């Protein structure tokens, strides 16, 4: 960990930026949905107020390993998201390491895994149903997500994030970015892929038994997921070069634009059934991803 690495982890795009940005992106999500529904929506600081309010609430008493695990899953999710955000190559000249895209993918997947484990740990039937739905949907969308990243890596001939970043003119690069965007709603549990936390069916799914500080950590993890996933896409399309302040502003603006776009789509669509969501990823998106990844591999070795 050199000085640059510490700045990335603790300042920008890491801890000091990521947490307020997470609350800001959650506000943008709620505000966009509210405007689509002809409502006023929450004030700017409402996600922060909700976080503080939840921290002050009492948690239902639990004892033993179950209580420890219920607190552990959201903590792991928050830490993994901060680590993923700190890895994003926002500024030029970053070094990274060979295969760091593989580590980034692992960190991005941890919240989904913890979300599933939280549902099974809760002991609630609604939590277990939500965990099963999340697990099935995660398997479906991760095939497209991983193939999209492989397509970009093969196109750029590297798994190093600093080399994958930048607005490449290669069509495979942009098709891979589009595939990642298709998976973000499922990873953030937005409509039409919010089957694992459907309030009208299973209350809050895996989070049904959560309250107080543990629920506050889950809300924070959700905001950080917004920052990490939209930031990942932004680093793949941001133009190479330019002063540091331009890249920082570009990172925030393009990421927030994705928040507004995905939130608007979520407000305009109804929730898919689990079978329909799986069919979307495995029948259409997966076939497209396999064809594109195969084409990228063929063109590389043919060249």
Nearest to 133 by CA among 261, 286, 271, 33: 271
Whether residue 185 has pLDDT greater than 60? yes
Mean of pLDDT values over 50-76:
86
More confident residue, 166 or 224: 224
| DSSP code per residue over 179-206 | HHHHHHHHHTT-TTS-GGG-HHHHTTGG
* Helical pair 125-156 and 100-122, crossing angle rounded to 10 deg: 170
pLDDT of residue 279: 86
pLDDT of residue 197: 82
H or E stretch covering 254: helix 244-268
Q: What is the pTM of this model?
A: 0.91
Whether residue 200 has pLDDT greater than 80? no
Please state the separation of Cα 58 from the chain's center in Å.
29
d(C-alpha 76, C-alpha 113), whole Å: 10
Split at pLDDT 50, 70, 90, the class of 170 is confident
Contacts of 43 (CB under 8 A, 6+ apart): none
Structure tokens at 10: 């603790």
How many residues in the chain?
303
How far is CA 53 from each of CA 99, 235, 276, rounded to the nearest angstrom? 41, 34, 37
pLDDT of residue 280: 85
Q: How does pLDDT run across 249-267, given as a tens digit for each residue?
A: 989 999 999 999 999 999 9
d(C-alpha 29, C-alpha 135), whole Å: 24
* Helical pair 125-156 and 286-302, crossing angle rounded to 10 deg: 20
Domain range list for the chain: 3-302
Please state the separation of Cα 67 from the chain's center in Å.
26
Nearest to 222 by CA among 189, 197, 254, 198: 189
Neighbour-count burial for 189-203, b at 16+ CB within 10 Å, e otherwise: bbbbbbbbbbeeebb
Mean of pLDDT values over 128-156:
89
How confident is the prediction for the chain on average, in pLDDT? 86
Mean of pLDDT values over 185-192:
91
pLDDT of residue 104: 93
Q: How does pLDDT run across 101-140, given as a tens digit for each residue?
A: 899 999 999 999 999 999 999 888 998 999 999 999 998 8
Q: How many CB atoms lie within 10 A of CB 78?
A: 23
d(C-alpha 58, C-alpha 216), whole Å: 12
Query: Are the C-beta atoms of 167 and 148 separated by less than 8 Å?
Result: no
Mean of pLDDT values over 29-41:
92
Split at pLDDT 50, 70, 90, the class of 299 is low
Among 24-33, 49-58, 253-262, which stretch is predicted with the lowest mean pLDDT?
Answer: 49-58
pLDDT of residue 99: 67
Q: What percentage of residues in the chain have a pLDDT greater than 70?
A: 93
**Using alpha carbons only, what angle is made at residue 32 by residues 76 and 175, rounded to the nearest 5 degrees?**
70
Instruction: Provide the 3-class DSSP secondary structure of residue 303.
Output: coil
- Residue 275, Cβ density class (10 Å: 0-12 exposed, 13-18 middle, ≥19 buried): exposed
d(C-alpha 84, C-alpha 256), whole Å: 18
Whether residue 3 has pLDDT greater than 90? no
Split at pLDDT 50, 70, 90, the class of 56 is confident
pLDDT of residue 247: 84
């Amino acid at each position: 960990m050199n000085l640059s690495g510490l700045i990335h982890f603790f300042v920008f795009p890491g801890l000091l930026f990521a947490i307020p940005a997470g609350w800001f992106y959650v506000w943008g999500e709620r505000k966009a949905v509210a405007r689509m529904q002809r409502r006023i929506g929450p004030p700017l600081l409402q996600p922060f107020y909700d976080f503080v309010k939840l921290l002050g609430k009492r948690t239902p008493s639990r004892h033993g390993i179950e209580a420890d695990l219920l607190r552990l899953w959201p903590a792991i999710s928050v830490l993994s998201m901060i680590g993923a955000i700190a890895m994003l190559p926002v500024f030029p000249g970053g070094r990274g390491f060979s295969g760091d895209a593989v580590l980034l993918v692992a960190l991005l997947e941890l919240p989904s895994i913890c979300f599933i484990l939280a549902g099974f740990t809760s002991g609630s039937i609604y939590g277990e149903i939500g965990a099963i739905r999340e697990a099935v949907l995660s398997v479906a969308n991760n095939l497209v997500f991983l193939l999209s990243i492989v397509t970009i890596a093969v196109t750029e001939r590297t798994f190093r994030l600093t080399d994958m970043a930048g607005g490449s003119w290669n069509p495979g690069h942009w098709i891979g970015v589009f595939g990642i965007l298709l998976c973000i709603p499922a990873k953030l549990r937005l409509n039409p892929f919010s089957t694992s936390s459907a309030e009208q069916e299973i209350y809050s799914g895996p989070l049904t038994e959560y309250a107080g500080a543990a629920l506050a950590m889950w809300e924070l993890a959700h905001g950080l997921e917004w920052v990490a996933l939209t930031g990942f896409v932004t680093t793949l399309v941001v133009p190479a070069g330019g002063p540091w302040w331009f890249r920082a502003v570009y990172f925030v603006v393009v990421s927030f634009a994705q928040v507004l776009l995905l939130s608007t789509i979520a407000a305009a669509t109804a929730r898919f059934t689990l079978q329909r969501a799986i069919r979307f990823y495995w029948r259409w998106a997966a076939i497209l991803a396999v064809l594109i990844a195969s084409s990228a591999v063929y063109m590389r070795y043919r060249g």
